[in-house]
Amino acid sequence: AQSVSQHNHHVILSEAASLELGCNYSYGGTVNLFWYVQYPGQHLQLLLKYFSGDPLVKGIKGFEAEFIKSKFSFNLRKPSVQWSDTAEYFCAVNQAGTALIFGKGTTLSVSS
């Protein structure tokens, strides 16, 4: 069965620290990969996505993710986090036209 695994349940960082959130998936065939973010009190928003091409994807607010096909991974990175990055982050995967399969999410807390 297809699945998505997020390595960290809760990450606590100080402002300006670097961030890397792990995501691995188990899915045969060609996949689309996504990171969604949910800020406190807000709905799920798309952070970035990978469909094809350059495996290094840049998203909004300085986030980027790298697709490593051989490792079935799509890790999210940001060189310097801000207090406003406090949120829950979800990795998700699908095949064309199908529903998303989400990981359990990672809660990021950034202290100022």
Stretch that binds other proteins, among 16-24, 49-57, 66-74, 78-86 (CB under 8 A): 49-57
CA 16 to CA 78: how far, in whole Å?
10
> Does residue 53 bind other proteins (CB under 8 A)?
no
Q: How far is the CB of 75 from other proteins (least distance, A)?
A: 17
> Does residue 96 bind other proteins (CB under 8 A)?
yes
**H-run or E-run covering 60:** none
> Does residue 25 bind other proteins (CB under 8 A)?
no
> Does residue 7 bind other proteins (CB under 8 A)?
no
Q: Positive or negative CA dihedral for 58, 59, 65, 66?
A: negative
CA 19 to CA 63: how far, in whole Å?
9
> Does residue 109 bind other proteins (CB under 8 A)?
no
